[in-house]
Amino acid sequence: MPKRALALSALVALGACSHPKPVLYPTEFYNQQPPDKVKADIAECEAKAKEFVKTHKSEIVAKHTLTGAIFGAFLGIVTGAFTGDYGRAISEGAAVGGAAGAAGGAIQANSPDGVFMRFTDYCLSQKGYQPIGWK
């Protein structure tokens, strides 16, 4: 069981390292900009968005962890009905569900929300770019 939790934690850590970035339409203005300037403008707009849009990442992860643990415990009750070992089935179900919920919460907390993306897109459009989506 601990090996599975460790592997799941490693996957969460890897997933938490990357997040979507704005995709810009290759207009004449965009094509005239050096790649370093485009990256700097994106970073500046994202920094402004982070400053303006406050997210509570720990609350998102905690909510998903609790939901996963409750769902896992429920599945443990069902499993315990078949095996006769309720205590072990419930505790293992809650542990696995909690780990899965934490993983899902960490991934969701790392993904930019709609307001963050719209703020960044607007900032970039004010600089002369034409954002067309996120990837």
31-71, pLDDT tens digit by residue?
999 999 999 999 999 999 988 876 655 665 677 677 766 77
**What pTM did the predictor assign?**
0.52
pLDDT the model gives residue 1? 46
Phi-psi region of 84 (alpha: psi -120 to 50; beta: other; left: phi over 0): left
pLDDT average, residue stretch 9-18: 52
Say whether 133 sits in a helix, a strand or coil: strand
The mean pLDDT value of the chain amounts to: 77
pLDDT the model gives residue 59? 64
pLDDT average, residue stretch 6-27: 68
Rounded to a whole number, what is the distance in angstroms from the first to the last CA of the chain?
35
pLDDT the model gives residue 112? 63
Pick 103 or 37 by higher pLDDT: 37
User: What percent of the chain stands above pLDDT 70?
Assistant: 63
Which of 11-38 are b and which e, b meaning 16 or more Cβ less than 10 Å from the residue's Cβ? ebeeeeeeeeebebeeeeeeeebeeeee
The domain limits of the chain are 21-55+113-135, 57-111
